Amino acid sequence: MKILIVHASAGAGHFKAAEAIYKGIKQSASHDVVLVDALDHASFLFKKFYKQSYFFLIAKIPSVWGFFFWILDLAWLQPLVRASRRIQNALNMGKLHQLMTEGCFDYIVMTHFMPTEIAAALKRSGRISSKLITVVTDFDVHRIWLADGIDTYTVASAWTKEKLKKIGVPESDIFVSGIPTDKKFSGPFDLAALRGSFGLKESLFTVLVATGSFGIGPIERIIEMLAGFQVIVVCGHNQDLYRALSARALADVHVFGLVDNMHELMAVSNAMVTKPGGLSISEALVSRLPMIFFSAIPGQETGNIRVLQTYGIGVSGCRIDQIGEELKRMRDSNDVFHAAREKISVVARPSAVSDIISLLK
């Protein structure tokens, strides 16, 4: 079979989900599979505006992002939203339209809502006959992910499935797979060797502080609250943060920039302080890491927190100066720590990639 996997490089999560599926297909089957970034097939100005405006809004004025996220999810506004998106994508995404129509793909798998709209429009018009699979990469789901013509939506949890049903997606079109993560997060790991390679002390409770790919949030203040813990902090693309923390050379604080071994850092950690992005959460769930959330982006990340709260997973809403106290509760009580890990096992989906691949028939 010929398979196209499409993401969009607005944040790292959509790419990581697409890459995990791509690698899974390459390793388990002999299909002809192609992985592309939708924005590489956009007009130059649209690509530049799309990526920079997203970063500016979430980093500088997240309340404005939250407002647009809310208003674009209103049910009565959807006809206008969909018409506007159709016009915008038709004007700016011609190369992606061409790839999808000329590629003669048996399946198109999408981990972002933009290519979902494009592929569905092409299928409705009869220009493609591909089976379309949309992989929703958050635990909550926004109406912008929906498009007439999608054959299957894969979702993070039973809660997500019920939300999709309520907003009009037939149950037969929804598949609870979990959000796809690379199989390397499932291990196995030689923990003693890993701790040694990172210079970690085995006796200390280790906290992983993850800032998301953009490296935003009050990271330095959080670390100041973690005296008595062994801390691993991943700064992502934020070079200023990386340099500032490295220069301080704080005791038992290990600083990393943008990494490709997050699975190893999670494996040697006992808990995670993180922004609540869908992929970061899913990787932590597979790694069985209790989580404390900070600086949630209004919209998708606050939605992720809301869903996880229904399962009793994660700590949210505490002030920066309370994060250390929450971690001390986990460190000092085996009952609290193990209860948090048991709740995680209900939602973790380490087989998400293989379950999604099973749909390709």
Q: Per-residue confidence at 282, pLDDT binned at 50, 70, 90? A: very high
Candidates 3.40.50.2000, 3.40.50.620, 3.50.50.60, 3.10.350.10; correct CATH number of 183-347?
A: 3.40.50.2000
Alpha-helical (H) ranges within 29-60 are: 44-60
Q: What is the pLDDT of residue 52?
A: 85
Q: What is the pLDDT of residue 215?
A: 59
Vertex 163 angle, CA 161 and 168, to 5°: 95
Query: 């309520």: which residue's tokens?
Result: 166
Nearest-angstrom CA–CA distance, 133 and 158: 18
Q: What is the pLDDT of residue 211?
A: 77
Give the contacts of 305 (CB within 8 A, at least 6 positions apart).
276, 293, 296, 314, 316
Residue 72 burial class via C-beta count within 10 angstroms: exposed 0-12, middle 13-18, buried 19 and up: middle
Average pLDDT over residues 156-171: 97
pLDDT digits 0-9 by tens, 30-42: 889 999 999 999 9
* pLDDT surpassing 90 at residue 297: no
Span(s) in the chain for CATH 3.40.50.2000: 183-347
Task: Kindly list the distances between the CA atom of residue 244 and the CA atoms of 236, 250, 325, 340, in Å, as whole numbers in the listed order.
Answer: 13, 11, 25, 33
> CA 211, 212, 218, 221: dihedral to nearest 10 degrees?
-10
State the CATH architecture for 2-180.
Answer: 3-Layer(aba) Sandwich (3.40)
In the chain, the largest separation of any two C-alpha atoms, in whole Å, equals 62
Q: What is the pLDDT of residue 321?
A: 86
Q: What is the pLDDT of residue 216?
A: 66
Q: What is the pLDDT of residue 213?
A: 63
Identity at 36, one-letter amino acid code = V
pLDDT digits 0-9 by tens, 178-234: 999 999 999 899 999 999 999 999 989 999 998 766 656 788 889 988 988 999 999
Q: What is the pLDDT of residue 195?
A: 95
